[in-house]
Structure 1
């Protein structure tokens, strides 16, 4: 995406506003929505580049809004290091010129995440296996992030299974997403794929993302977050499935 046309700017603003609403209501989902919608309009690489600044800003805010940053970092640092390594390693795929394959892979990841989140049972990870499981989960999350630009799998189900308090879980998700964003930017940059016009629009996208988060918090007080989340995941599945099968037609 080298042409900052009015339709592309309008689509980016609308996408990040809606993504911000989802994050404001559910506490997550901004990168997933942004990659899903923009990845269906432009290449996944261009979508991931646009995602970098708004994702970083919103997730840093989420990370430092809680009370337990230091204890969460001590507990999860092996997972975070593995996320960095996996993301940088996998980013060569999203930076490749094969947009058909990367779009299909992104769509498959979105569809799988939606179905898993809708229907899977809540898992519980015993403390005794967390020490060796965390790096494995981090590496898998990093590889998927590098390949698709989506930060959620398997990090989100894993963190939800650790038995963290609500505030600590929100902060842990903020830590994971922040590290993933930084690692994705580093990986794309190492491939020489960052472009100035994309980064400029990425900076501007912070405004609708924050506005959407504010609107999402307003909406959260007036509707059931569970109902909203189910509707969002159903739409995300349809979008991901369409992207996954698009190369067949």
Structure 2
């Protein structure tokens, strides 16, 4: 077993208790998540979360993935300027994500581990099915605001419990006509605000420490390495087909998470 010293952090303490095989498995999960993101840009958590759930409690996995998401989206949120005007345009989904994360973290902390795993699996499956179906909605200006508030709240719940806010946010932004750089900038801003709220809520409830955040930031290293590794292959692979294969894997992995939790059988899982 590898031994490290982590100061006063739930994530650090749980990592310290793991053996070498589990630690390597966590690094591999982050590396694979980065590789998939490098090819199809569907996001690291969607792929990494089912793998991480084999080694860590869901609460720890959500916290571990928080800083890679923040660090990965800050450059896109700042790109091209126009930050404040963009924030004003997406004010309601931003409010929804802040409230949703406060509620979602409270729910996640209150859930017993096997129920948290089942909830995360259900949200992962929903996220993958939404991306597979690729629903194309159209929202008129009249409905864009209320829908943004509701979908922002829902996305934050998915972020807090399974670390996958992207599908609902993508649905909303596409439905309001955001494309190209505008889409990328808006979803990046929402994600950064969402994860900062999540981390602040964890920290405010004494469920995360500075050492946990440093560990989470270090988790960005294998993610970035994975993205760089597949860069030469990115243009040679058929992204659409690869995307479907990945999402089918996520649905199967999410189903396995739900079965492993034992909630369907009325037990507490393994």
Tell me, yes or no, whether TM beats 0.5: yes
Q: Is the counterpart of residue 49 in structure 1 residue 89 in structure 2?
A: no
Count of equivalent residues: 249
1:5-24 equivalences under 5 Å are 5-24=19-38
Alpha-carbon separation, structure 1, partners of 2:201 and 2:240: 35
Please state how far the C-alpha of 1:200 moved relative to its aligned partner. Answer: 3.9
* Corresponding residue number in structure 2 for 1:240: 254
* Corresponding residue number in structure 2 for 1:28: 42
Alpha-carbon separation, structure 2, partners of 1:128 and 1:97: 37
For the 8 Å contact 2:62–2:163, the answer to whether it is kept is yes
Identify the range of structure 1 (118-127 vs 54-63) with the bigger mean alpha-carbon deviation: 118-127
For the 8 Å contact 1:89–1:187, the answer to whether it is kept is no
Alpha-carbon separation, structure 2, partners of 1:60 and 1:183: 15
Equivalent residue in structure 2 for 1:58, among 65, 68, 72: 72
Q: Is the counterpart of residue 132 in structure 1 residue 171 in structure 2?
A: no
Alpha-carbon separation, structure 2, partners of 1:114 and 1:190: 31
Q: Is the counterpart of residue 215 in structure 1 residue 215 in structure 2?
A: no
Cα distance, 1:105–1:181 mapped onto 2, change above 3 Å = same
Identify the range of structure 1 (49-58 vs 144-153) with the bigger mean alpha-carbon deviation: 144-153
Alpha-carbon separation, structure 2, partners of 1:231 and 1:150: 18
* Corresponding residue number in structure 1 for 2:244: 230
Q: Which runs of 5+ in 1 are unaligned?
A: none
Please state how far the C-alpha of 1:215 moved relative to its aligned partner. Answer: 3.1
Q: Deviations over 1:128-175 (max 9, x none)?
A: 311222112112222332233322352222122222122211222212
For the 8 Å contact 1:44–1:149, the answer to whether it is kept is no
* Corresponding residue number in structure 2 for 1:188: 202
Please state how far the C-alpha of 1:87 moved relative to its aligned partner. Answer: 0.3
Please state how far the C-alpha of 1:8 moved relative to its aligned partner. Answer: 3.1
Q: Is the counterpart of residue 85 in structure 1 residue 99 in structure 2?
A: yes
Q: Which runs of 5+ in 2 are unaligned?
A: 1-13
Alpha-carbon separation, structure 2, partners of 1:221 and 1:69: 31
Please state how far the C-alpha of 1:77 moved relative to its aligned partner. Answer: 1.8
Q: Is the counterpart of residue 176 in structure 1 residue 198 in structure 2?
A: no
Identify the range of structure 1 (193-202 vs 226-235) with the bigger mean alpha-carbon deviation: 193-202
Q: TM-score, normalised by structure 1?
A: 0.90
Please state how far the C-alpha of 1:230 moved relative to its aligned partner. Answer: 0.7
Q: TM-score, normalised by structure 2?
A: 0.83
1:92-171 equivalences under 5 Å are 92-96=106-110, 98-171=112-185
For the 8 Å contact 2:62–2:160, the answer to whether it is kept is no
Q: Over alpha carbons, which structure has the higher Rg? A: 2
Alpha-carbon separation, structure 1, partners of 2:155 and 2:181: 22
